[in-house]
């Protein structure tokens, strides 16, 4: 089981994440390419909240395909094209992932992604012992 923690000598996390996740030595790792808000049929969701929800559902589908669950998530890197999207990202994350699932995360604001219509991309790492 992965162990998430927030060291006492570091500030409280600014969102729904933890500062560290300890992965056991015998864990099986899964690394996910950056996922975007495109569904199985190739349709890009409209708006930041819907794109984020689809992106997170894609991540959960990738995990399930490999016999993993959201509790196996270790780290995400979130790329947003506008800092004004942060609150919508957080709301979408809470809706799809829930507030009880905590993992390490980095959020980065970028000038653009692979297509100008894509507003969010999320890379993920998971580990299961």
Asked whether residue 101 is assigned to any structural domain, the reply reads: yes
pLDDT tens profile 43-73: 999 999 999 999 999 999 999 999 999 999 9
The Cα-based distances of 109 to 67, 83, 106 in angstroms read 31, 6, 10
With left for phi above 0 and alpha for psi between -120 and 50, is residue 2 left, alpha or beta? beta
Domain membership flag for residue 14:
no
Residues 18, 55, 33, 108, Cα dihedral to 10°: -50
Whether 89 is in a domain gets the answer yes
Q: 34 is in which domain, residue-wise? A: 30-128
Percent of the chain with pLDDT over 70: 100
Is-contact 37 51, C-beta < 8 A?
A: yes
* Partners of 108 in the β-ladder: 79
* CATH number of residue 90's parent domain: 3.30.1330.40
- Give the H/E segment covering residue 36: none
| Spacing of C-alpha 43 from chain mean position | 20
List the beta bridge partners of residue 5: 20
Whether residue 120 lies inside any domain: the answer is yes
Q: Are 51 and 36 in contact (CB under 8 A)?
A: yes
Give the global pTM: 0.94
Domains identified in the chain, total number: 1
Tell me whether residue 20 is in a domain: no
**Can you give the length of the chain in residues?**
129
Q: Would you say residue 17 lies in a domain?
A: no
Residue 47 confidence (pLDDT): 98
Whether 4 maps to a domain, the answer reads no
Q: Please say if the pLDDT value at position 40 is more than 90.
A: yes
């Amino acid at each position: 089981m992965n162990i998430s923690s927030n060291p006492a000598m570091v500030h409280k996390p600014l969102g729904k994440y933890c500062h560290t996740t300890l992965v056991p030595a015998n864990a099986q790792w899964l690394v996910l390419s950056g996922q975007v808000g495109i569904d199985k049929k190739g349709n890009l969701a409209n708006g930041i909240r819907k794109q984020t929800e689809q992106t997170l559902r894609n991540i959960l589908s990738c995990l399930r395909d490999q016999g993993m669950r959201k509790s196996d998530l270790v780290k995400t890197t979130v790329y947003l094209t506008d800092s004004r999207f942060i609150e919508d990202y957080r709301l979408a994350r809470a809706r799809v992932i829930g507030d009880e699932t905590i993992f390490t995360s980095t959020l980065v604001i970028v000038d653009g992604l692979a297509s100008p219509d894509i507003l969010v991309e999320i890379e993920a790492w998971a580990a299961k012992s």
